[in-house]
Chain A
């Protein structure tokens, strides 16, 4: 054991002496590994970030909420035209579910439009105006920072009141309390009841804070016909009840929409689960393809290492001969060159991580990720493995050299 350790120490000393003796060449050789490690770690970081962003966004949908819409989430198959021609989901269906469902904890219709909002001289353009019911907080899981959401009375009565997203609040009311103030949404006056907590964005695409929420009955009067397409959110009493709730809601909807028993559903009941499935398939493919492509650059880097190790073995044929002549067994020579190759790659890996880390911080600004420690550890491990694999053939050749031939080599 002691013997192996001394041999290993000797191998390390030789490797670093050799690398130091050929600084320029070593650096150029490791470049391939550097690039490989940078791309693989960044790809790993990005995939991790995508995953986290998705999970965070998807949690907003709530695992116990059903979304009744014309369009299904995920795979639509070839039915695009059929779906397109479906009857809209209407407010009447929301009312029917509310009336007949026993399993639903909360039912809430929602629809939206884009409008400009004014307060005094201040203008915010293209804010998403959500027309919804008073159960919004229950079905969306969003929370109010201060003030309140409109109640059932105000909602059903279509009162001109609103609750506003944190970004809208910050833009219109930089230094005053918005609650009680009257703002103009698309030209109509609304009294602000409350301000939402900051929510961020959904899948990194659409800010959830640049929104205002008004009673849907008011929305139908001022922004859109009550016959237009909406979505209905149904919160089950618990996740365990979700499937039963879904069946019950399906029955109610079929009846509400006057479907004959043999006709297929002309609506979609969406849920978080569907998106997760879709994401897992797509995400898995993206990850596999991405890692494969970036892995290729690591492979090319490995070939570069193999090449230079062959050069190194040839250059040091005589040294190998000397070592063998004074009693170095094959194993020792093999180990020596494997260590050199692994050390070269490890250096490349470390440089790669040093380069990739600041870039990962840039990625962090649009995806919630930082280079995970696991990626760093794996990257270093991978570079050592690449080194051992690409060094093996040259090292094996070195270990098999005939001592007399090696000593004669000029």
Chain B
């Protein structure tokens, strides 16, 4: 079985003044369909850089990245934009919603850039919003929502194009523990439905939702292991209501 993600010897350097910062230093990872991966590591270890490269927001300085067996490591800006639109669902720590647009429009946006017609767009966006349990907030602006609700909107936006992978960079970092747990249950549900999920976190508790744990240190992979004692949660549905 071929991997969804195949990273071979990926490096990312930043030139800061005289100094060369090795954000990533020879990282190789393979991720299969429907895996649930937690990326961990201390601050500055290269987690976000790795996520940005996997999410095609950034390109590596060297190394090969194949996504669905397509080499994306030297694609140009517009080609990457298309990949991001079709294949990647990104969830950010700071939500990154458009402040002036309501929930529906925020979720609809990737479909606009994907060239989906208006009727189809509305249908898909409403379905995605329903899955994260925000149907009754569909015309609210982000500043009229709680942090947890905002993160659900951004998850709905990530889901709406039915991407190959969901990427979440510290999705619970700006939320309290209870709300964070709810968001994690949502990810668990999405994983059960067959999605491939990669999430960055520095909380061991959060990482326990995943099946596999990767630890980075100074841009290098330190640990890559299966998680045995997974946290088991109650049915997400009850929380969603």
Contacts and interface: CB of A to CB of B under 8 A. Distances in A.
Interface of B: 52, 55, 57-58, 77-78, 81-82, 84-86, 90, 92, 96-98, 100, 109-110, 112-115, 117-118, 157, 161
Interface string A322-351: 111111111110000000000000000000
Interface in A88-138: none
Nearest to B115: A3
A7 interface: yes
B114 to A, nearest CB: 7
A289 B118 CA distance: 51
Which A-B residue pairs are the 3 nearest by beta carbons?
Answer: A327-B85, A3-B115, A327-B113
A404 B52 contact: yes
A332 B77 CA distance: 13
Contacts of A330: 77-78, 81
A2 B115 contact: yes
A21 interface: yes
Contacts of B90: 325-326
A343 to B, nearest CB: 16
Given A3-B115, A6-B115, A404-B52, A322 B81 contact: no
B175 to A, nearest CB: 19
Residue picked from A21, A321, A322, most chain B C-beta under 10 Å: A322
Contacts of B85: 326-328
B81 A329 contact: yes
B110 A327 contact: yes
Nearest to A21: B100
Contacts of A324: 57, 81, 84
Nearest to B161: A327
A10 interface: yes
Contacts of B55: 325
A7 B112 contact: yes
B82 A407 contact: no
Given A327-B81, A327-B85, A322 B96 contact: yes
Nearest to B53: A404
Contact of B92 (A329, A331, A407): A407
Nearest to B117: A2
Contacts of A325: 55, 57, 84, 90, 96
Given A7-B112, A330-B77, A330-B78, A404 B98 contact: no
Nearest to A7: B112
A16 to B, nearest CB: 11
Residue picked from A7, A321, A326, A329, most chain B C-beta under 10 Å: A326
A328 B57 CA distance: 12
B115 A326 contact: no
Interface residues of A, number: 24
Contacts of B113: 7, 323, 326-329, 332
A329 B110 contact: no
A326 B115 CA distance: 13
A301 interface: no
A403 interface: yes
Nearest to A331: B78
Contacts of B118: 6
Given A2-B117, A327-B114, A322 B98 contact: yes
Nearest to A326: B110
B82 A327 contact: yes
Nearest to A400: B77
B109 A323 contact: yes
Contacts of B115: 2-3, 6
Contacts of A331: 78
A319 B97 CA distance: 8
Contacts of B81: 324, 327-330
A286 interface: no
Interface in A301-326: 318-319, 321-326
Contacts of A403: 57-58
A17 interface: yes
Interface in A10-35: 10, 17, 21
A104 to B, nearest CB: 78
A324 B109 CA distance: 11
A340 to B, nearest CB: 13
10 contacts: A322-B98, A327-B84, A327-B110, A327-B161, A328-B85, A330-B78, A330-B81, A404-B52, A404-B57, A407-B57
Contacts of A319: 98
Given A319-B98, A326-B110, A327-B114, 12 more contacts: A3-B115, A318-B96, A324-B81, A325-B90, A326-B90, A327-B84, A327-B85, A327-B113, A328-B113, A329-B78, A330-B78, A331-B78
A324 B77 CA distance: 10
Interface string A66-79: 00000000000000
Contacts of B84: 324-327
A7 to B, nearest CB: 7
B43 to A, nearest CB: 15
A17 B78 contact: no
